[in-house]
Amino acid sequence: MNLPRPILLAALAAAALAASGLLAADLPQSPPLSRIVPVADLDGQVKFYLDELEKCVQDESEYRDATSRVDAKAVTKLEKKSHALAVIALAVGLHDQPSQFKKAAPGLIKAALDLAKAADYQSAKKGVENARAALFSTGDPSSLKWMKVAAMAPLMGEVPLIHMRMKRDIRRFDRNIERLAGGAAAIAVIAHGSMPNADETEKPDEVQKWYQYCIEMRDAAAAMNRASHEKSLDAATEAMAALQKSCDDCHAVFHKGVVIE
């Protein structure tokens, strides 16, 4: 039986998530996501990351740059963007505010993770096309839960890139409010979505500390998001300092020697 593409994408996404066995029932309870960031900012980040991924496959030269590794353990740009998109899509699917992409969330998650595994230029280009097509898929977001949908290394590799962009943008705060709000929203949900990745840290037995640092990072980013919407430079500057501290404190325990600039 040939299923319509949107239904097929949704079915494949549900199967992949169920097969992963990564539901984390013992995670701290999530507050309503509207208390963290507005869904409109996350919708904007879905579009932003799809555009970023399209840039990665504009031609084979861009693809080589996006998938180059300094060593075997290095995380590529394509992997960082794909995994970040997966977590942002999960947050959209779980958000308590209505979103144009809520039903697409299961398909987006699967498409993003499939793209991260692309082995060559043609499969990556096709993967980006599939991710864009997943925007029009119709899945069941009520089947989603906070779970490990992405690997920690690419997620934590993406955070400093967002953070550096935000540090540049805050210097011209009035001109960059929308971009600051979007970046803060992305960091907030990446922080919350990283809680299930405690087993990937250097100290997997320190689960409660990991949760604590994820929450601190999430809340600092959420404060930055609010400050941007309120157009308060003072509050944004304070939130940026809190975000920096949350990263430094976490790295002092879980990843010594790494400093977020």
pLDDT score of 191: 97
Would you say residue 161 lies in a domain? yes
123-168: pLDDT as tens digits? 999 999 999 999 999 999 998 999 999 999 999 999 999 999 999 9
Higher pLDDT, 15 or 105: 105
Residue 17 — left, alpha, or beta (φ > 0 → left; ψ -120 to 50 → alpha)? Answer: alpha
Q: Is pLDDT of 82 > 90?
A: yes
Tokens representing 102 are: 């809520």
CATH number of the structural domain spanning residue 168: 1.20.120
Residue 222 backbone phi and psi in degrees, to 5: -65, -40
Provide the pLDDT confidence category of residue 256 given band limits of 50, 70 and 90.
low
Question: Domain range holding 73?
Answer: 5-143
Q: Look at residue 23 and give its three-state secondary structure.
A: strand
66 and 160 part of one domain: no
Q: Is pLDDT of 13 > 80?
A: no
76 and 25 part of one domain: yes
pLDDT score of 192: 97
18 and 117 part of one domain: yes
Contact 69, 76 (CB under 8 A): yes
197 and 250 part of one domain: yes
210-240: pLDDT as tens digits? 999 999 999 999 999 999 999 999 999 999 9
User: Which residues touch 84 (CB under 8 Å, ≥6 apart)?
Assistant: 49, 150, 154, 155, 158, 186, 190
Would you say residue 260 lies in a domain? no
58 and 81 part of one domain: yes
131-141: pLDDT as tens digits? 999 999 999 99
Contact 116, 49 (CB under 8 A): no
Which DSSP helix (H) or strand (E) runs through 83?
Answer: helix 77-94
Contact 217, 225 (CB under 8 A): no
Q: Point out the least confidently predicted range of 17-26, 53-62, 91-100.
A: 17-26
Helix H, strand E, coil C: the string for 117-172 is CCCCHHHHHHHHHHHHHHCCCCCCHHHCCCECCCCHHHHHHHHHHHHHHHHHHHHH
